[in-house]
């Protein structure tokens, strides 16, 4: 019997969209699939509106998709829930923390950390972190192994993906929903959602010169600067322009619940950060991860750790093809040679992506694991309301 708890999720938007992207996805899944009561305390409603356009920017309280959305500052008046999830170590207010210590039985308090494929994750997952006042917080590490906290994956995601991709007109439907004409059926479609990148000219030239038409779907973000420089124009949202075989589409922001369709419709996904990185793996498409750049090259270690796992069963040629293009993309090198090698290996990359996605599906999803861990950690708590 699944017990219904009151969950408080806290999200501080550092920059970009992934902090709220991951939090919003988790919050919705806890409500929809696990019948939990969820409050999301958030400090940046403008960022949230990019992925959930129905959010009201100045409402004191509102409910979206069953999740109660609360401005960050209101945590001072809030009574802690049964479960407190501090997303990415975002630091709660002293007032709220003091209330955690005064609440009996004590809430289960977790710091849900950033995703990494590095091996140390398994050793730190669920480690306690004693706090003042006899309160204990626990680290929760998402990951790619059964000793980690798993990856966010909705229960029906894979079935939805497969049904969607079996519809011959799916890509046309997705583009029309975005107000954009679909690319020619035989076009190579590339989704671009990356950080800023100086040198794209060689890559764009090679696509413009390709025999096969190429559709480049550009998501909003800093990478547009390099595209505008090559085009020698300022691409407006919704605008489409062609150079040779290359047609560039400037996409609008898509609500997060539909973002996966872009990944499912594309032949190659260039993604970034954390959430779109995971979603491209569930899309089972050939993809490139533009990792969030960090000081002291910490991101290089994270990238290498993922590639070691992702390519563990790949043959030598495929491994080289992926490493060449991912390295060129993340190190700001000339992309053209590695791109041609990557596109030339699409059938093998596609088979590998599907095999990888299937291997990840064998792992319980993050939300289900979180529910179980909360039950374990709070097992001495009287349940509030037994879910009906």
Spatial separation of the C-alpha atoms in residues 39 and 77, rounded to whole Å: 13
Whichever of 99 and 125 has its CB closer to ligand TRH, that residue is: 125
Report the 10 Å Cβ neighbour count for 351. 13
Closest distance to ligand TRH from the beta carbon of 110 (Å): 17
Query: Can you read off the two tokens belonging to residue 51?
Result: 């992925």
Binding residue for ligand TRH, selected from 7, 21, 121, 267, defined by CB under 6 A: 21
Q: Which residue has the tokens 């009561």?
A: 37
Of 8-16, 123-131, 164-172, 177-185: span binding ligand TRH (CB under 6 A): 8-16
Whichever of 189 and 206 has its CB closer to ligand TRH, that residue is: 189
Closest distance to ligand TRH from the beta carbon of 309 (Å): 18
Query: Can you read off the two tokens belonging to residue 250?
Result: 């400037």
When asked if residue 118 is in the footprint of ligand TRH (CB under 6 A), the reply is no
Of 167-175, 232-240, 272-280, 295-303: span binding ligand TRH (CB under 6 A): 272-280
Report the first-to-last Cα separation within the chain, whole angstroms.
Answer: 9
Whichever of 7 and 289 has its CB closer to ligand TRH, that residue is: 289
Q: Shortest CA distance to 80 belongs to which of 89, 70, 88?
A: 70
Closest distance to ligand TRH from the beta carbon of 29 (Å): 13
Residue 19 is a catalytic residue: yes
* 241 touches 231 (CB < 8 A): yes
When asked if residue 276 is in the footprint of ligand TRH (CB under 6 A), the reply is yes
Binding residue for ligand TRH, selected from 9, 11, 17, 67, defined by CB under 6 A: 17
* 303 touches 328 (CB < 8 A): no
The radius of gyration computed from the CA coordinates of the chain, to the nearest angstrom, equals 22
Whichever of 18 and 143 has its CB closer to ligand TRH, that residue is: 18
Spatial separation of the C-alpha atoms in residues 340 and 39, rounded to whole Å: 47
Q: Which residue has the tokens 């950033």?
A: 114
Whichever of 16 and 37 has its CB closer to ligand TRH, that residue is: 16
When asked if residue 19 is in the footprint of ligand TRH (CB under 6 A), the reply is yes
Of 101-109, 120-128, 174-182, 274-282: span binding ligand TRH (CB under 6 A): 274-282
Which residue among the candidates 274, 275, 365, 373 is catalytic per the annotation? 274
Query: Can you read off the two tokens belonging to residue 5?
Result: 């708890």
Q: Which x/- pattern over 310-349 shows residues binding ligand TRH (rule: CB under 6 A)?
A: ----------------------------------------
Which residue among the candidates 19, 86, 113, 267 is catalytic per the annotation? 19
Of 163-171, 178-186, 267-275, 356-364: span binding ligand TRH (CB under 6 A): 267-275
Q: Shortest CA distance to 182 belongs to which of 113, 114, 265?
A: 265
Spatial separation of the C-alpha atoms in residues 366 and 360, rounded to whole Å: 12
Pairing of strands 6-11, 188-192: unpaired
When asked if residue 49 is in the footprint of ligand TRH (CB under 6 A), the reply is no
* 151 touches 365 (CB < 8 A): yes
When asked if residue 272 is in the footprint of ligand TRH (CB under 6 A), the reply is yes
Output DSSP code: residue 127. Answer: -
Handedness of CA 251, 253, 258, 262 (dihedral sign): positive
Give catalytic residues, as residue numbers. Answer: 19, 274
Q: Which residues bind ligand TRH (CB under 6 A)?
A: 14-19, 21, 51, 114, 193, 219-220, 253-254, 256, 259, 272-276, 292
């Amino acid at each position: 019997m699944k017990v219904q708890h009151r969950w408080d999720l806290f999200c501080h938007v550092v920059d970009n969209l992934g902090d709220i992207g991951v939090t919003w996805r988790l919050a919705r899944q806890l409500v929809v699939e696990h019948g939990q009561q969820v409050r999301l305390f958030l400090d940046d409603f403008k960022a949230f509106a990019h992925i959930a356009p129905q959010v009201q920017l100045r409402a004191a309280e509102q409910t979206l998709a069953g999740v109660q959305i609360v401005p960050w500052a209101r945590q001072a008046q809030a009574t802690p829930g049964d479960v407190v999830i501090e997303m990415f170590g975002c630091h709660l207010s002293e007032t709220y923390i003091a209330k955690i210590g005064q609440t009996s039985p004590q809430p289960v308090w977790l710091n849900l950390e950033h995703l990494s494929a590095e091996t140390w994750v398994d050793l730190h997952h669920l480690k306690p972190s004693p706090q003042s006042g006899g309160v204990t917080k626990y680290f929760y590490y998402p990951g790619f192994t059964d000793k980690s906290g798993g990856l966010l994956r909705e229960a029906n995601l894979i079935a939805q993906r497969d049904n969607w991709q079996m519809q011959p007109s799916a890509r046309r439907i997705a583009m029309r929903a975005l107000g954009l004409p679909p690319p020619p059926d035989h076009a190579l479609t590339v989704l671009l959602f990356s950080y800023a990148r100086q040198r794209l000219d060689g890559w764009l030239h090679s696509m413009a010169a390709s025999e096969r038409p190429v559709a480049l779907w550009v998501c909003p973000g800093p990478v547009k600067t390099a595209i505008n420089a090559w085009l020698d124009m300022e691409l407006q949202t919704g605008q489409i322009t062609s150079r040779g075989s290359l047609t560039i589409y400037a996409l609008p922001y898509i609500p997060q619940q539909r973002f996966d369709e872009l990944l499912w419709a594309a032949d190659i996904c260039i993604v970034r950060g954390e959430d779109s990185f995971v979603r491209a793996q569930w899309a089972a498409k050939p993809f490139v991860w533009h990792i969030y750049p960090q000081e002291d090259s910490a991101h290089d270690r994270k990238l290498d750790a993922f590639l070691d796992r992702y390519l563990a069963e790949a043959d030598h040629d495929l491994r080289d093809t992926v490493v060449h293009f991912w390295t060129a993309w993340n190190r700001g090198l000339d992309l053209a040679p590695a791109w041609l090698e990557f596109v030339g290996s699409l059938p093998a990359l596609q088979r590998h992506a599907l095999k990888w996605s299937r291997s990840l599906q064998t792992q319980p999803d993050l939300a289900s694991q979180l529910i179980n861990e909360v039950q374990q950690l709070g097992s001495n708590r009287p349940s509030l309301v037994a879910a009906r």
